[in-house]
Amino acid sequence: MKYIVIGGVAGGASFSCRLRRLDENAKITIYEKTNFVSYANCGLPYYISGVISKEESLTLQTPLSLKERFNLDVKVNHEVIKINPTKKEVVVKNLLSNEEFVDCYDKLIIATGANAIKITEDYNGVFTLKTVEDSIRIKKYIINNNIKEAVVIGGGFIGLEILENLKELGLKLTLIEGGKHILPNIDLEMASFLHEELKKNDIDLILEKKVTKIINEGNLINIYLNDKVYKTKLLIEAIGVKPASSLAINSNLELDLKNAIKINEDFKTSNEDIYAIGDVTLIKSDIDNELYYLPLAGNANKEGRLLADKLVLGDDTSLKACGTSILKLFSLNVASTGFSEEVLKRKNIHYQKIYLSPANHATYYPNANPLIMKVLLADDYSILGAEIIGKDGVDKRIDLLAMAIKFKIKAYELKKLELAYAPPFGSAKDPINMIGFMAENLKNGLIKQFYAEDIKQIIKDNDAILIDVRTKKEYAYNHIARSVNIPVDELRKNLAKIPLNKKIYLICHSAIRSYVASRILIQKGYNVSHLAGGMIIYNAYLKSIKEGEE
């Protein structure tokens, strides 16, 4: 059996190596149009800054190493320019010699990945970051032209990672994001913590401004917004990616949304002998079972292995994803899994949400830092999504929540999880357990919540009383209009001041004291709700609203 694999990065390399481990007799050829194969494209921004100092550190394998260990015939600088499904042939162009030739296959695997979305032409000083060659070009350009400042368009993963690494080189930076906030996988109020982090690092953040045109004038790139022009010698376009599906289009293979190649659960295209994996395809969601575009290296690698298992062993290839991701942004880490609140609203999926801000490990152990956590729950308390921001401990908590989504663990069941504990690593009641306790309280009607976005309407309600249960000092520093201050430890002796016929809304710093106060008042017969996330989330919400108005 002869297999031709188009694309030798995540999906293509994973498929080919797994196939060889299962079938020593298969003939396997990989055509990769760049000069590198099986490279770590997630590490590219860190090469530019020098955090990853050696170019060879980015390449996990070479054509020679793949030949020696796996007997793979790897052709770099070779682009498949045409597929002839009827004859089961591909036309290949050697990009170094410009010669073309025909190769035949029994099974063809398309793993062409994604292409960077671009606004402008290939002007000098304008770059995207998708390949090892891109990172080398950017690094050389910065050094050769003594670049001191740059503009990045796009506040997604690549945009933020390259922003941080350009800052590492000492550049003055402007980030232009067309949306209301950076990172579309998280929500507005959570993103406000990241906006603050950018400002702390002297990043000029421009939100809700669309780039109308980009023009090269002299030795400067002019970036036109509706109300301003930015001039720079270095522009990084990090707007996003789209499926690299031109081969499939020209070969009359069926397409799906976003021009991704349409596949069945076995990765088979509309042609019996052609398969597609990775960023050129869509994937089903663990949340609602609908297809969506999720260009992540982890999924591409898993799909490559699953396809090889299917073709040789006949194994089940069904794969779903919840979009788990993590990003380092200066001193903070931000991670998410599942759907954001914005996505749930767009899909008209009913939900409730909980916020918490526990420490990453025992507070009595040095260097404890808060985790800002948001968890979105379905009516049956299954987990629809989660977002976490913090300095440490973000990764292991988001991974546990991703596992809970994958294996349909209800939020209240998290209270039972036995998790590793020692003071440097966590708390006896881990933040994941805390999510379980909070969900259980909601499920059993022991607590009711209101959200930051509800306060404006609550203030107008004459039947509502807002009670801030923080200390007098905290209240004096800042508080919500129309709220009165009764510290939680003084609540029982001040019950006569609280009318039983009013709706009571409780506020504190992080929703811990307001929860305790709620339990006191509810058992005394009061109609009580408390502010989810407390003033931490309310202040973040206010900040995000103001940013949108600027």
Residues 329-355 have pLDDT tens digits of 999 999 999 999 999 999 999 999 999
* Rounded CA separation 332/328 (Å): 6
Alpha carbon 384 to chain centroid, angstroms: 15
At 227 the pLDDT is 79
**Could you tell me the CA-to-CA distances from 115 to 41, 67, 241, 491 in Å, in that order?**
13, 27, 5, 60
Kindly state the average pLDDT of the residues 116-142.
91
Share of the chain above pLDDT 90, in %: 91
Task: Return the DSSP state at 182.
Answer: S
Q: Is the pLDDT of residue 550 over 60?
A: no
- Beta-bridged to residue 434, according to DSSP, are none
The percentage of the chain sitting over the pLDDT mark of 70, rounded to a whole number, equals 99
Question: Between the CA atoms of 454, 456, 462 and 465, what dihedral angle is there, to the nearest 10 degrees?
Answer: 60
Is a pLDDT exceeding 70 seen at residue 76? yes
With cut-offs at 50, 70 and 90, classify the pLDDT of residue 548: low
Token pair of 23, please? Answer: 């079938």
Q: Please check whether residue 497 is in contact with residue 521, taking contact to mean a CB–CB distance below 8 angstroms.
A: no
* DSSP bridge partners of 204: 174
Structure tokens of 334? 């931000």
How many C-alpha atoms does 277 have within 13 Å on its Cβ side?
33
| Torsion region of 274: left, alpha or beta (phi above 0 gives left; psi -120 to 50 gives alpha) | beta
Q: Is the pLDDT of residue 275 over 70?
A: yes
Per residue in 54-75, pLDDT tens?
877 777 788 999 999 999 999 9
Distances (CA, A) of 482 to 458, 465, 507, 513, 530: 10, 8, 12, 19, 15
**Nearest Cα residue to 255 out of 273, 280, 231, 236:** 280
- Exposed/middle/buried for residue 283 (C-beta within 10 Å: 0-12, 13-18, 19+): buried
Residue 322 designated active-site: no
Average pLDDT of every residue of the chain: 95
pLDDT for residue 288 is more than 80: yes
Decide which of 109 and 257 is more confident. Answer: 109
Output the DSSP codes for 522-547. Answer: HTTT-EEEEETTHHHHHHHHHHHHHH
Q: Which of 42, 104, 322, 508 is catalytic?
A: 42
pLDDT band at residue 239, thresholds of 50, 70 and 90?
Answer: very high
pTM, two decimal places: 0.95
Closest CA relative to residue 191, chosen from 174, 168, 208 = 208
d(CA 509, CA 353) in angstroms, rounded, equals 17
Determine contact, residues 381/412, Cβ cutoff 8 Å.
yes
Q: How confident is the model at residue 546 (pLDDT cuts 50, 70, 90)?
A: confident
Return the minimum-mean-pLDDT range out of 30-44, 242-256, 381-395, 464-478.
30-44
Determine the pLDDT at residue 549: 59
* pLDDT bracket for residue 317 (50, 70, 90): confident
Q: Smallest Cα–Cα separation from 142: which of 156, 155, 129?
A: 129
